[in-house]
Amino acid sequence: MHRLLPRIMFCVLAWVAPCGAAPATDWEKEIQRLGLECPGIQLGYEVVIEGKGVVKSRAPDVPRAAASAIKTAIALDLLGAHGMNMDEVLQGSESLLEPGTHPAMSGFTSEELAHCRTELAGRTYRDLLSIMMGGRATSNEAYNAACNLIMIKLGGPESITRRLHGLDPSLRGISSTDTCSNGTGMETTRRLRALWYRSIA
């Protein structure tokens, strides 16, 4: 999946810093100015102002295609599991990127996996996290394969979800196993906001 735009729907969280007295904001107009909404793209959002909480929302509890936004949950779990060892090399990455080695890599062609071995083999957890979160310029295949490598090392989607649910009650709705028909994870704006807030708290 393309890292910037999901195929069907887009889920937006707006976090606004405090800034003293100001005229009332027309948040619908501000959201429209972002230019994200168009035919086939439906937005769900929450606008949060520090100290005031949610000041504007639209359909925050409607599940939408979250695409790579759910990678924040995987990143949070990785930091909890390997936060003190982020500069260690993820062992076995080259063999995991061989065709037919692991079901998580079954969606890649042999050519794509060969390319991913070149880009990802021998990388540290920190490197792979940066690639997975779009912090480094790389191919879309490597961007997604880096995420799969990390998920394998974390024990798979079920293990990640279980640890997140134990970490914070507000994350109990988050699931890295929810999928829709096109393979995109489904999440609500409200649950993603809880996840992102927990990741910076």
Distance CA 44, CA 35 (A): 14
Alpha helices (H) along 37-185: 71-82, 93-96, 110-120, 125-132, 140-153, 157-167
pTM score, whole prediction: 0.71
Contact yes or no for 145/101 (Cβ under 8 A): no
Give pLDDT tens digits along the chain (201 positions).
Answer: 333 333 223 344 444 444 454 556 787 888 788 777 777 777 788 888 878 888 888 888 888 777 777 788 889 899 988 889 999 999 999 999 999 999 989 989 999 999 999 999 999 999 999 999 988 888 999 999 999 999 999 998 889 888 888 887 777 777 766 554 445 567 788 888 877 777 766
Domain ranges of the chain: 10-68+177-200, 70-159
Q: How many CA atoms lie within 13 A of 81 on its CB side?
A: 21
